[in-house]
Structure 1
Amino acid sequence: MTIRTELDAAGIHDPALRAAYQRCRELNARHGRTFYLATRLLAPAQRPAIHALYGFARWADDIVDEPRADDPVATPATRLDALTETLREALTGAPAADPIFAALADTATRYEIDHVLFDEFLDSMRMDLTVTDYPDRAALDRYVHGSADVIGLQVLPVLGTVGERADAAPYAAALGKAFQLTNFLRDIAEDLDRGRVYLPADELAAFDVDRARLQWCHAHRRTDTKVRAALAAQHAIARHWYRYAHNGIERLHPISRPCVSTAAVLYSEILDRIEHSDFAVFTARATVGNARRTRVAGSALARALWARRGHLTPVPTRT
């Protein structure tokens, strides 16, 4: 299905705004393969908003992690400050020079997404500029709330619910958390290269593991016995959040359930790959192959099409 069909279904007709949403869709397709595949299971009218939310999150994350070679003077901190100010202006109705802001502001207005969720997300992105370690679970949870929980809360109005949105909110936040904790395990070597450890220091210490031991494992491309035990404990915590989040899928609008369940299955299978490799996270990055992603999404497609026949698509609060 073409982007034109999706934008028509969503009632987005302004040419500049359509181009803005198309830019976000391209970002999603290029960088978020599993997430993008899952969005294809949503109704066409829902997809542009999800792409806009992803596009903004991706852009902010890249500011923190990817220095710009074409502008060596601007630091990540100054770029993030500029992004924050531009976002606030866009959300209050000012013309957005960048298409990503235009699409995001339109989505936030259409679905009445709480602007605080964007502030909390940027707060966590700002933490990445100065914080390199987390002493305990409470400290890590403060970061994860802004970097992941709020993403689930941002998309919830687009997905729709069968009851009060507040009843589904804890489960939406939990799925965002589960995805993030999965990333922390999968990307531990990459994060070490950036000088960061996203695992609670006190929980690692219970297994006699610290940053130095993680660095040793990374340098030698092996997972020693103590680190394996520590990672297994973190793996179990991530599993817990997937189980909790699964209980909330039935609270979503029926049209949105195949998408969310597919994303949860595919992302949780990254944990399977990590476990099956005996936690060899310093040797290779755990991934779910294209064939497996296609099979899971294919089996969900029939459910998605059936749901669309029997239910109206969730509509924005405002249009």
Structure 2
Amino acid sequence: MTVRELDAAGITDPQLRLAYTRSRHLNARHGRTYFLATRLLPPERRPAVHALYGFARRADDIVDDLGDTATTGERAAALRELEARLDAALAGAPVREPVVRALAHTAGAYAIDPSFFRDFLVSMRADLVVTDYATYDELRAYMHGSAAVIGLQMLPVLGTVVPREEAAPHAAALGLAFQLTNFVRDVGEDLDRGRVYLPADLLAAHGAHRELLLWSRRTGRRDARIVSALAAAAALTRDVYREAAPGLAMLDPVSRPCVRAAFVLYGEILDAVRRDGWSSVHRRAAVPRRRRAVVAAGGVARVAAARLGSTVRGATVRGAAS
């Protein structure tokens, strides 16, 4: 399947094919929902999505998974080195790191604004030193680099039926919604890394705070104040999904099933957290595998309809021209 995608995308250089394959493996291993949705894209567009994911995953691994003995300074240095390699690759210099090589090729092929990648790395560096956010506005500023620009990077790959700048705010909002969903789901895991992404003002409005979250994580005991705060965070996240929703119809029809599937499945993570009693301080909730399969099957049907429609439109245009 990887070979078919690379052939469809016209990627023939052996080293570049290996670079894209490495990015695809990272997506398949770590981005379960994201990878499933990507399977609904036309084959020729999938490698670019894998490249975008692979680079983001590489940076995230430097921040969180470089090894227990790595210091903050060593992680910061590794991020600087990654950015230097990216700058070199974007300038046309040869680089050895596969995810950087694939990303630079994708950025050139789809004319993706390089500032999106630099903004992303700014937020990754923030994760090395910032452990919480006082307000939602502060968190949203962080998420511009960590999430909104991911949506903006994706937009040229997905394609639009309106001017790209019209769809851009919705694409950015979808990136925010996905990350906010992760924050609601991963409270306990983030605590283990020393971070609280739920804004302090949101927690305080429900009588919760960082120390209470840590107590709940440590003891395994529930607290109504945490439940209330998580429900409020989920409601806020739903609002951001509503900001993003109009952008679905602005996408190229052949890309809509992919993004719609991600939209539905990520939204249902919030439902899974609710069904689990808002216990994300203690464990990670997940959308059942059967439900993911149902959404994917619906996406396949939409893909077939979109491609048939594209073929019919193309035939009509050719017939009119002849």
In structure 2, the partner of 1:239 is 238
Question: Against the structure 1 CA distance between its residues 72 and 124, is the aligned structure 2 distance closer, same or farther, given a 3 Å change threshold?
Answer: closer
1:103-114 alignment to 2 at 5 Å?
A: 103-114=102-113
- Residues 93-120 of structure 1: CA deviation (Å, up to 9, x unaligned): 1101111111100000000000000000
Question: Against the structure 1 CA distance between its residues 17 and 196, is the aligned structure 2 distance closer, same or farther, given a 3 Å change threshold?
Answer: same
In the TM superposition, structure 1's runs of 4+ consecutive aligned residues that sit over 3 Å from their partners are 68-74
2-side partners of 1:94 and 1:237: how far apart? 44
In structure 1, the partner of 2:279 is 280
- Residues 150-200 of structure 1: CA deviation (Å, up to 9, x unaligned): 000001000000010001101111111011001111110111111100011
**Are the equivalent residues in 1 in contact too, given 2:188–2:283 (CA < 8 A)?**
no
Report the alpha carbon displacement of residue 69 of structure 1 after superposing the two structures with TM.
6.7
Report the alpha carbon displacement of residue 71 of structure 1 after superposing the two structures with TM.
7.5
Unaligned runs of 5+ in 2: 312-322
In structure 2, the partner of 1:157 is 156
* Higher mean displacement: 137-146 or 215-224: 215-224
Instruction: From the two aligned structures, give the one with the greater helix fraction.
Output: 2
In structure 1, the partner of 2:260 is 261
* Higher mean displacement: 280-289 or 61-70: 61-70
**Are the equivalent residues in 1 in contact too, given 2:51–2:102 (CA < 8 A)?**
yes
2-side partners of 1:290 and 1:63: how far apart? 30
* Higher mean displacement: 290-299 or 277-286: 277-286
CA RMSD in angstroms, aligned pairs only: 1.6
**Are the equivalent residues in 2 in contact too, given 1:21–1:100 (CA < 8 A)?**
yes
Question: Against the structure 1 CA distance between its residues 223 and 71, is the aligned structure 2 distance closer, same or farther, given a 3 Å change threshold?
Answer: closer
**Are the equivalent residues in 1 in contact too, given 2:89–2:101 (CA < 8 A)?**
yes
Secondary structure of 1:152 counterpart: helix
Size of the alignment, in residue pairs?
Answer: 311
Secondary structure of 1:196 counterpart: coil
1:288-303 alignment to 2 at 5 Å?
A: 288-303=287-302
Unaligned runs of 5+ in 1: 313-319
In structure 2, the partner of 1:30 is 29
Secondary structure of 1:255 counterpart: coil
Report the alpha carbon displacement of residue 70 of structure 1 after superposing the two structures with TM.
9.6
User: RCO (CA 8 Å, sep 6+): is it higher in 1 or 2?
Assistant: 1
Counterpart of 1:289, as a letter, is: P
1-side partners of 2:12 and 2:67: how far apart? 33
In structure 1, the partner of 2:223 is 224
1:192-211 alignment to 2 at 5 Å?
A: 192-211=191-210
1-side partners of 2:172 and 2:186: how far apart? 21
Question: Against the structure 1 CA distance between its residues 203 and 74, is the aligned structure 2 distance closer, same or farther, given a 3 Å change threshold?
Answer: closer
Report the alpha carbon displacement of residue 15 of structure 1 after superposing the two structures with TM.
1.2
Question: Against the structure 1 CA distance between its residues 301 and 96, is the aligned structure 2 distance closer, same or farther, given a 3 Å change threshold?
Answer: same
Pairing 1:309–2:319 present:
no
Give the alignment's TM-score, normalised by structure 2: 0.93
